[in-house]
Structures are given as C-alpha cells and as structure tokens.
Amino acid sequence: MKAEYWVMISIGIFFALIAPIYWLVSGDPTGTVALLMTFLLCALVGFYLGVVAKQIPDRPEDRNDGEIAEGAGEQGFFPPFSWWPLFCAMALAVVVVGVAIGWWLFIIGAGILAFCVAGWIFEYYRGVHAH
C-alpha cells in the first residue's frame, strides 16, 4: 500500500501547488476552492492509505522480490449476493422525492429506509448466511 500512498500524496501536492497559481491567473474563486477541496480529498485518502500501510505486514506486491505464489490463499471476506443495497437505494429515492413532494412521503420513506438499513446491517445474523 506504500505505492498507493505515494501516488495519492503526490497528486495532493500537485493540486496544492496548482490552486494558488490558478487563483492568480484566473481569479476564479469557484475553481480555486474546487482545487483546494481536491487537495484535501487526496490528503485524506493518502493519510488513510499511509495508516493502513503501517498496520499491514509487507505485501508481496510491495516488495521487489515478491512472487505471485505468495499472494495465493484467502484474500479476505467478500459478502455474498444481497438484495438490501437495492432496497436501501429505492427507499432513499422515496426520501429524496419526499423532500420535493411533501413531508408525509419523506416520513414514510425514512421509515422504510431505517428498516432497510437495519436489514442490511443484520443480514449476517440470520438466514442462510448467518455465522
């Protein structure tokens, strides 16, 4: 993850250097703020990758002498197929439409959304994929 860390930090430094130059050349406050926010986003992601890189032992892809066979085996937990993200998206759509149409629809959508989020969170505690 050290390579990813350096890529994000380098991109962040680039945007930090470009933002004041853009401000001096154009005087556009919107674009300057967008460049500064891009710098902050890159700094945030780079910081996260740097912290995670210190917690994980050396990965084979981070070493020059790493072999492909060293990366074999279980890579982590990947959840099985789930319908809950679809239901959460539809409930969120009802909430957003409820803001435009009326608060009564917003309240109904918020209730459905709460149910769907709870179902998504607890899907591994019951049913076929319980553990």
Distance, CA of 123 to CA of 131 (rounded, Å): 10
6-64 confidence digits (pLDDT tens): 999 999 999 999 999 999 999 999 999 999 999 999 999 999 999 988 887 777 777 78
Q: How far is CA 83 from each of CA 34, 116, 120, rounded to the nearest angstrom?
A: 36, 10, 8
Q: How far is CA 41 from each of CA 12, 16, 30, 45, 88, rounded to the nearest angstrom?
A: 8, 11, 16, 6, 26
13-22 confidence digits (pLDDT tens): 999 999 999 9
Q: Which two tokens stand for residue 4?
A: 């990813």
Domain boundaries, the chain: 2-71, 84-121
**Predicted pLDDT at 131:** 63
pTM of the model: 0.56
